[in-house]
Amino acid sequence: MENVLITGGAGFIGSKLTLSLIEKGHKVTVLDNLSPQIHGEDVNLSPLYKSIKDKVNFIHGDVRNLSDWTKAIVNQHIIVHLAAETGTGQSMYEISKYVEVNISGTSHLLDYMANEPHQIKKVVVASSRAIYGEGKYQCEAHGIVFPETRNEKDMVSGQFEPTCTSCSKIVSLVATDEESKINPCSIYGITKYNQEQMVLVACKSLGIDACALRFQNVYGPGQSLSNPYTGILSIFSTRILNNNPINIFEDGLESRDFVYIDDVVDATILAMFNTNANDTSFNIGSGKSTDVNTVAKLLKGAYNSDIDIKVSGDFRVGDIRHNKADIYKAKRVLNFEPKIMFEQGIKLFTTWVKKQEIQKDNFDQSIKDLKLKGLMK
């Protein structure tokens, strides 16, 4: 049995991972600053924090402080580094904060391991599909291409599909594998790539095993229903339960690879204990893409609601069009197999949501913020 430190262990993924590791007999320490954006102003009311606080060695601290890392790292064998600022849109106007938490925060961990005695044998860092930007596509004339961020002129005219960098023709989606071009189109994506590369490079030189998990869109019971910056399943659910209409951006055919929380926890545990999962990165997703119109309809049906769903043509600067992960490498090396498909996962998610208190709908305010910053059209 191992001593495991989970940074961000009070968050959505971290709390579920914590509970699963404890059930398997491991001893878990959590380092988390209980960020109000995730946990609300009164942390005693945070269901995620409440679910773990009496079961772990909880350190209320910040990854930006080396002294907090110092308290947390003593006697640890494995570190799963999840603590991060996670909003793609928000990262475009809170740049210093994203760099400080995600990049400088990670640098303290590496400094500690490089300069202090410790027993750490493995580090797993959470990366993101955001590092690929638009991801991998096929052009009829030019084969595999990695489109640039879509231009505003096309989007204003209602042409939302990515185009070939050579001939400007519309391209079709293929699954993005780990060898695909790294092409982040948000500060968040840049920080996640920095984090994973810093961990892989530093751990290699220190002789510590490390791997990065490039999570796709993770969803499921426990995800924040009040944070308007992440997670369309939460955002739509909170809109529907407040009887507010849903405004679908673009033409609603934009898609994402939704991966269920339990599958992400399984993948993380496989990566923690697999010695072949070293000095490398894995896509962790479902391997399927689901469009936003389908998501909205499934949620409206599950909540038995009659709210309006409007496809508005609005768009956010820097949003990607589609996402589908190639998960072959995680299957081959980690033996990872996603078990919960989207239709089943959405039932489990909405069943959980119905038991929660209805949250205040902060979505309109987040759109006002984005519009003020010129990031929403």
Residues of the shown chain interacting with ligand NAD in the complex, contacts defined by CB under 6 A: 8, 10-14, 32-35, 38-39, 62-64, 82-86, 101, 105, 126, 128, 192, 215, 217-218, 224
User: Least distance in Å: CB of 299 to ligand NAD?
Assistant: 17
Count of Cβ atoms closer than 10 Å to residue 167 Cβ: 12
Q: Which two tokens stand for residue 326?
A: 């190639």
User: Least distance in Å: CB of 192 to ligand NAD?
Assistant: 6
User: Rg (Cα) of the chain, in Å, rounded?
Assistant: 20
93 is catalytic: no
> What are the distances in angstroms from CA 96 to CA 65, 80, 111, 294?
16, 24, 20, 36
Task: Output 163 or 186, the one with its CB closest to ligand NAD.
Answer: 186
Unique residue bearing structure tokens 């010695």: 275
User: Least distance in Å: CB of 251 to ligand NAD?
Assistant: 23
Task: Output 64 or 181, the one with its CB closest to ligand NAD.
Answer: 64
Q: Which two tokens stand for residue 367?
A: 């759109």
> What are the distances in angstroms from CA 48 to CA 39, 124, 272, 356?
8, 21, 22, 12
How far does CA 135 lie from the centroid of its chain? Answer: 16
Among residues 132, 188, 229, 260, which one is catalytic?
Answer: 188
Residue-by-residue DSSP string for 75-101: T-SEEEE------TTGGGT-HHHHIII
User: Least distance in Å: CB of 154 to ligand NAD?
Assistant: 27
> What SS3 class is residue 313?
coil
Task: Output 38 or 210, the one with its CB closest to ligand NAD.
Answer: 38
Residue nearest to ligand NAD as judged by C-beta position = 11
Q: Using CA atoms, how far apart are residues 318 and 12, in angstroms rounded to an integer?
A: 24
* 239 neighbors 245 (Cβ within 8 angstroms): yes
Task: Output 83 or 307, the one with its CB closest to ligand NAD.
Answer: 83
Q: Spell out a b/e string for 300-315, using b for 16 or more CB atoms within 10 Å of the CB, else e.
A: bebbebebebebebeb
Task: Output 101 or 317, the one with its CB closest to ligand NAD.
Answer: 101
Active-site amino acid positions: 188
